[in-house]
Structure formats: structure tokens, C-alpha cells
A and B are shown apart, each in its own frame.
Chain A
Amino acid sequence: LSAAEREMAEDAEDAVRIVSGMLRRGEGGEAFRERRRATSWSAGEAGLLLPSTVEERGTAVRVRRGGESLLVARPGDGPEALREAVREASRRAGGSPFFKRRPTSRWQAPPPSVSEEEAWTAALAAALARAIPDPRGLSLSLVVSRVAVTRAVITSRDLVLCGTSTRLEATGLIGREKARRTFSFQASGPWPAAVSALETALREATRPAPSLRPESGETDVILSPSAAAVFFHEAVGHPLEAERAERASVLARVPRAAVAPAGLHVVDEPARADLPGRYVHDDEGMSGLRVPLVEDGRVVGLLTDRRTAGADSNGHGRCSDYRRPPRPRLSNLVVSLGQASFEELLGLCGNGLHVREVSGGSADPESGRFVLMVESADTIRRGRLGAAVSRFALSGDILAALNGLEADRGDSAPPATGLGICLKGGEGLAVGGAAPAVVVRGLAVRAVGA
């Protein structure tokens, strides 16, 4: 256990008693503790500028009864914060709990050691210098953060530690001459590997932007593994986050229907340790289960939380922070491999575009429209890669795009670095993805500014 986890579990017995005492017959609910530690640097083209360190702790108490739910959040992740939140939740429900005063822990998790922080900074500064050897003509405005989040859920039976997740994030703007682009990066895993992946992504993102505009209109595309991960996230992941029947998305409305080529499997895997959306228990204390969403091209599953599935939740109740209620959200979306090499996919595509990098996307599950913002792409002519093209928006209809997927897919699916924080309803969560390169027919291209 990490130091923060040990501290959160210190009053486990007492905390469980308080939560079980709060819940009345017919009520469900739990308490939630969170500690977030971030070390950030604002980065410019000249290197790292403003360093900052932030630690935030919070406790929330959630109570559900029929269609009504209540969340009370308080600062602090210790016994006092829990009691204060329970007291307010009970007051709103008409009760007045009496708590015996117990000695509270004064133990504090030590801050990262100086040498540890020095090592992080030095590694980042070096990576930035290597990625941008010549900053002339370049403007960079990034925030690079190392974020560690520890969470625990207290149910009426147990205190469940959700674990500590650590990730490297970078977001901001990169400008070169008359072109500006957004940059979004995220990686989990060991620090040296994450920093090295950031260096590669930055080197790619700071290359001069091509001036050739792609032709607007319908075209066939090859999505690189990183871009395909974003596509499946928007086109399959979000539409299969459970909502009630009336809100059903274009995919949730057609259970068991064949929507994609046979042989395509899409699974949400919270346990994938190499992807940033990893967790063992979700933010309601349920085990994060592996959920097949598409099997052999058919819609077979939904991602659920306790609100949408009660005790049958498959462990996808996730919240952006302790102040927000959990909602069904995806974690790491993994797409089955194919056997085609990149050259074979080029030949299959014929004429079109090869999308290397997508900086963001959005989808409206209700109408089925989605948009991907493409930052880096090349033309494909007669099965060969051609010139690089400038930024463009790639859009389409979810059902039509899945139907337009070729059955042949790439033979490798590395962790996607382009999937940053996923925002839904203004609430950001770490997500991951791994998908092979795919060919999609008939997506709409529109050059930015056209």
C-alpha cells in the first residue's frame, strides 16, 4: 500500500460503522475519499517555467433512495471530514447523528523527496530540450503535470481501496508561424518511459505544419493505431455508456444488431495496467470488470454503474473528482487485432488519407454524429503515401462509419498516447485505448478554416 492508501484506511472500522449507521432502510450509498497530488510545470519554447505543487483532499457521502440522490462533499480525507459530511447528509434527510469523539490521526504522508522531484524535473527538461533543439519560430504554451490520485470507497460493509494511479499529462498550444495547434498527451507507466513518449509526441507536434489543404468531401481513410483508439472511444465507447432507455444512444438502441464487420471485438478493460484508465475498483467500490461491447461486429454490452444497474453494476461508475457523482464511463477500450501490414492497408484504401494524429474528438450519441480533429495526416494515392496535409475535421455518422469499417485491420495495437483526458458533460477522466490501424470508408473531410 502507498502511504496515502495506508492513511485513508487507518480508520476503516470506524468509517464503515459511520456509513452503515447513516443509511436507512431502502437507501443505498457510500462514502468516497480522494487525494490528488500534482506536480506541474508550465513549459514554453525556452524550457520549463513556473513549477507548482498542489495537493487536494476531499470526502463525499452519497445516498440514493429510489429516484432521488444526495451527495455532500467536504474538504479533507480524514475522519473529521467524513463525520461532517455524514452529519450534513443526515440533517438533510431529517436525522441528527451523534458521533463519539475519537482521537484523529495526525500522521501526514511525506511529500516527495527533493531528489525525487529533482529527478522528475531534470528528466522533463532534458526531454523538452531534445524534442525542441531549435525553438526559433516556435511558440509553446503547455502545462506538463505528474498527477497521482488515490481513492477509497467506504460502503456499509467494507473500506475498499481503489488504488493509486499515476500519470504524466501535457496539454496546451503549439504555434509555428501562422499555424496554431492544440497538443494533448497522456501516459501512465514508469516515469522514464512516459517522459520518452512525451518527447516523441512533442517532436512530432512541433514539426512545421504542411500548407497543403486536404480536399473537402467524402473520402476513405486509414486511421493509425493512435487515431483509431480515439475513433473507437467516440464511436463505440461513449454510445455504450449506459443511460436510461429514453436516452438511448444510436448503439444502445440496437442491442445484438450487427453494426460492424464480423471478427471485430471491442472490449472495455479497466484492468489493463499499461493504459491510463486503469483501476481495480471503480469509484463506487465495485470491481472493474472486463466488458465486451462489440463481439463479432454485434453490439453486446453496456457500461454500467450502481445507478443504472444497482448491484449488477459492472464497475464503471467513475467520477472526475470527489465533488461530482459517479456516472457510467469507459476506461480502457481495446480493439481486436487484425493481420494486415501497413502496406496492405494502404493498398486496401487505394486513394484517401492516412490519419496519423487526432488531437480531440466529440460525439453526440443521441444523433450519432461524431467529429475528430486531425492534426497530422498524409494523402494516399494509388496505395502509396503522398504529401502531408494541414489540419482538418473528420466527421461522420457512427452507424455509417462502423458499417464502413474494412474487416482487415492492422497487426499491432500499441497504447494510444493521443487519448488525453476524456471530457463528458464538463467532467474529465483519464482514459486509455489500444487499437490497430483500420480503414474506414466514406468519412467527411473539412479543412479547418474552409
Chain B
Amino acid sequence: MTARDGTDDLFERTFSSLKDGTRDGEGAELYERVGATLEVTESEDGVEVLESRERGFALRLFRAGRVAFAADGPAGAHNLAERGRLLLPRARARRGVRPPPRLPGEQVDRTGAPAPGPLQEGKARELLALFRSTLMASGEGAVALREATVSLGERSERLATTAGRDATWTSRAATLLATVVGRSAARRFSTRVVAVASRADELPMARLARHAVDRVLLPLSGQPLAPGKADLLLDSHVASHLVGRLAPLFFGEEEEALLLARTRRGRDPFASPCLSLVDDAAAPGGPIRTTRDGEGTPQNRTLAVDRGVPAGRLTDLSSAARREMASSGNAQRRAWSEPPTIGVTNFFVDPSPGVSPLDLLADVQRGYYAAVLLERPEVDLAANTFRLNTAGYWIEKGRAAGRVSEAAVHGRLSDLLRGVAAIGDDLKFVAGAGGGVGSPTLYVPRWKYDS
């Protein structure tokens, strides 16, 4: 037993009894998560502080392609095997389902999941003050902050399997959630700001505040965009949400059929040669920074689309086994009480072939710069359609010529992706698709706006 920093040997004891009780042909995986969250909320009602600790255990029991899942807190950890065995006969067998094995050369780490230390309430309050002051200064009296929350989290995870994997890893997260309201003489418009970073210091509070001001004031001023054809610049924040909605195309077997249909079984490109899509848990600026996925697999950089052509898949162990390849390390556990599913870490458009956004702007003779999203984007991967309700600026000869209060950018998704003629180098991430999604500014010439 090598428990440390306030944790006990419950994991060790549970796993040993699991190993001892494993029947022929049966495999098991035990997962533990120990986490702490501190949340400070400031609103017109006052200040609210939330401090919570969690600890949970999850078991996956495998037998002949079947898998059952059971989870409980520390009080019920000893019952997990029994509960898993009750469920196992009712599962359906699937190819590739097995406990995570120890990889060649992989170190065994039995240090145990350390309990997170105290989280800094002062840091959270400092970030809130910065957000509020920047928002008020940029909003010039037309913007109010209804509520803002900064949440700091830290967690340790441990996973051991009867197939030899034993790993421990830790991660952190910082989140901003805010409700901002813009007011004009006749109307109000409110929006919710969501931002995630791997550390509190990496939350760009000033930039987020200025962007929030744009999001609530742009729809209250200017004119709706007139129908016609014009160049389109999608701001990195807007494009990031769209990129996030593409992620499921690279997950499972069902979506693969869609991807094949979109590219006529690979005969057509998926996107313009400017676009490469990458998933990388270590991407600089990405809100997710972890070393292992929810099955304990070390995480890699995966190229999903290489210069417009589909090149890779995001997989967990079982989907990778069905493809006879190695897992890309994309099994995600949203909570200890949920089984792992395939998801993204930091999924983004590679900005390396990009140019400065100002250069992109200079090339626009007559066009629309979609600066903010007014509603959640609608993307139907099956029907190959999308719709972005945006606000922004009308551009003439490389300069802003007026405010646009509302413009629906919509049409065929494949037309947009293949129509991207250039990208910026200003990669930014937003929270989305269960992780971080990012894009630089995208330039699409001659896009048609009809309403």
C-alpha cells in the first residue's frame, strides 16, 4: 500500500479482492477519482462560495466481449465486483472489448491518487474582479454583469487492470461562467460566457470581458445583413464552435459512414487544403492538459484531417481494436459515475499555415466579419447543413464600414469547409464537445447570404 496525502488504501484493498475473485476468462478495471472544486460566485445578491470534495470508484468487468459497469463512493466500493457480476450476463458481446493492457515499456505507477490540496479562494476573487472591471470599462455603461463564477478544480485519478496497467495522473481546470446583459433604449440582450483553462492564470479574463461586451452590444446596434454574395471572415471564437461540432465525425463507426458519404468514399476532399484538424491533449493554449485518458492510455497528438483529407480517427481501446490499431487516447470520463466514451481533448484547426488576421482583413474588398455568435450553432452532420446566427461588421476595402446586428451564415457544411481559402494564425480555444475546441480566423470568399 502506498497511499499518501490523506488517501487510504481502499483502492489497493478493493483491487486485490477484485483480482483474487476474478474468474476464468474474466478481466477487470478499477478506476478511482479524488477531486476538489472551489467555486466563487458574485452576483447582485452577494457572494457565494462552494467547496466540494468527491471520491468515487468505478469498475468495468469484462468477459468474452461483454462489459458491465458499476460505480459507487467509498462506502460501496467493496460491493462493486458483486454488482458488476450481476449485470455482466445481460450485456451484449462486442468485438474488441477488453481491459486496458499494459503497453510495451509502460511504467507501473502505484503511488495512489493523492487528495488535492486546498484551492485558492483569493485567486478566484482576483480573477472575478479583473473580469468585472474590464467588462465595466469596455461596456461604457451599456453593459451589466448579472452573475460571474470562477471555479477552480483539481483531481487525481488512478486506474489499474487485471491485464497489468496501473497508472496515476492528476489534472487541473479553471472555469469562468458569466451572464452579461447589454441594454439599449429599446432592447436588452443577454449572453452566457463560458471559458475553460487548464490553470487559473491561463483564463484570459480581459479578452473574455471585451468579447462579452461585443456579444451583447453588437446585436443591439447596426442593421441586419442584406442578402447577396460577399466574402466571409469567421472570427476564431465563432469558427471554434463550428469545429467542435465536427468532432463526432471522427469518433465512432456510425459517423464514419457519414464521413465516407461526405467525401464520396475518399474521392472528394473533406475540407480545403488549408484545413488540418488535430486532437492534442498537450496543445499550447488548450484548456485540457492531461497525460492519460479515461482508460489510462497515454495521450497523443492525432491528426484527424490532413490538409483537407481525412487521416485519422479518435479512438478508445475497443474501437481501436476493431480497427486493428492502437488507441489514440480519447476515452473520456465525464464523471467517475459514468463509463468512458470517446471524446476530444483539445480539438482544433492547425494554425501553422495561417497568416495574420489583419492580412486576411486587408484582402476583403466587400465582405462580412462574423465576430460573435448569438445562438448555439446548428450543425446537422447527417443532412450536411449548418446555421450560425451571428453579429459582426460589414467590411469594405479591408476596413470596418458598419455594424451588423444579425446575419445568418448557413448552407451546406461541405461547401463551407471546402470553400475556406485562407486561415489566420490566431488560434483560440473555447469550451465545447466535452473538451476544448479551437480555430483561427477562417476566410471564405464569396459566400451567399439570403436572409
Contacts and interface: CB of A to CB of B under 8 A. Distances in A.
Given A69-B48, A114-B86, A448 B73 contact: no
A55 B177 CA distance: 29
Contact of B69 (A47, A51, A247): A51
Which size bracket describes the interface of B in this complex?
Answer: 35 or more
A366 B188 contact: yes
Interface stretch (B309-317, B377-385, B390-398): B377-385
B449 interface: no
Given A73-B50, A111-B79, A366-B181, A449 B383 contact: yes
A33 to B, nearest CB: 13
A88 B119 CA distance: 13
Contacts of B338: 54
Most chain B Cβ neighbours within 10 Å, of A55, A78, A141: A55
Nearest to B39: A71
Contact of A449 (B56, B91, B410): B410
Contact of A51 (B76, B91, B181): B91
B46 A71 contact: no
Contacts of B383: 178-180, 448-449
B87 A56 contact: no
A58 B87 CA distance: 25
B405 interface: no
Contacts of A49: 91-92, 94
Contacts of B254: 139, 141, 175
A56 B72 contact: yes
A307 B45 contact: yes
Contact of A74 (B46, B52, B70): B52
A306 B51 CA distance: 20
A112 B71 CA distance: 15
B229 interface: no
Contacts of B71: 52-56
Given A88-B51, A139-B254, A364-B190, A53 B46 contact: no
Contacts of A139: 254
A307 to B, nearest CB: 7
Interface string A46-84: 111111111111101000001111111111101000000
Contacts of A47: 92
A448 B380 contact: yes
B173 interface: no
Contact of A55 (B72, B380, B385): B72
A313 B212 CA distance: 34
A17 interface: no
A68 B47 contact: yes
Contacts of B50: 70-73, 323-325
Contacts of B56: 56, 75
Contacts of A46: 92
B101 interface: no
Interface in B126-160: 144, 146
Contact of B48 (A56, A68, A141, A246): A68
Nearest to B379: A449
A425 to B, nearest CB: 8
B48 A325 contact: yes
B49 interface: yes
Given A175-B382, A244-B44, A364-B190, A52 B92 contact: no
Contacts of A52: 68-71, 87, 339
B54 interface: yes
A72 B375 CA distance: 34
B93 to A, nearest CB: 10
Contacts of B207: none
Contacts of A323: 37, 50, 52, 54
A39 to B, nearest CB: 8
A180 B86 contact: no
A179 B383 CA distance: 6
A139 B146 CA distance: 42
Contacts of A108: 75-76
Given A50-B339, A75-B73, A178-B383, A449 B46 contact: no
A51 B73 CA distance: 19
A2 interface: no
B90 A56 contact: no
A10 interface: no
Contacts of B54: 73, 75, 323
Given A51-B87, A52-B339, A178-B382, A450 B410 contact: yes
B387 interface: yes
B323 interface: no
B448 to A, nearest CB: 13
A49 B66 CA distance: 9
Contact of B44 (A73, A76, A247): A247
B325 to A, nearest CB: 22
Interface in B86-103: 86-87, 90-92, 94
A142 to B, nearest CB: 13
B74 A247 contact: no
B83 interface: yes
A366 B68 CA distance: 45
Nearest to B87: A51
B360 to A, nearest CB: 28
B337 interface: yes
B55 interface: yes
Contacts of B380: 180, 448-449
Contacts of B385: 448-450
Contacts of B13: none
Interface string A204-217: 00000000000000
Contact of A53 (B73, B83, B181, B375): B83
A57 B189 contact: no
Contacts of A51: 68-69, 87, 90-91
Nearest to A72: B51
A408 B6 CA distance: 65
Contacts of B94: 49
A56 B46 contact: no
Contacts of B52: 60, 71-74, 323
A335 B378 CA distance: 32
Given A51-B87, A449-B380, A449-B410, A67 B46 contact: yes
A57 B75 contact: yes
Contacts of A325: 48, 50
Nearest to A371: B375
Given A367-B188, A449-B383, A53 B49 contact: no
Most chain A Cβ neighbours within 10 Å, of B44, B46, B52, B91: B52
Contact of B189 (A55, A78, A179, A367): A367
B337 A56 contact: yes
Contacts of B381: 180
A70 B46 contact: no
A339 B246 CA distance: 48
A121 interface: yes
A343 interface: no
B382 to A, nearest CB: 4
Given A180-B382, A247-B44, A50 B91 contact: yes
A230 B387 CA distance: 24
Contact of B70 (A53, A141, A180): A53
A367 B44 contact: no
Nearest to B380: A449
A180 B383 CA distance: 8
B218 to A, nearest CB: 14
Most chain A Cβ neighbours within 10 Å, of B44, B338, B383: B383
B45 A244 contact: yes
A13 interface: no
Sort A-B residue pairs by CB-CB distance and give the 9 closest, nearest first.
Answer: A67-B46, A449-B385, A73-B52, A52-B69, A51-B87, A180-B382, A54-B71, A366-B190, A71-B50
6 contacts: A53-B86, A54-B338, A57-B73, A111-B79, A111-B83, A425-B177
Interface of A: 46-58, 60, 66-76, 78, 88, 92, 108, 111, 114, 117, 121, 139, 141, 175, 178-180, 244, 246-247, 307, 323-325, 364, 366-367, 371, 425-426, 448-450
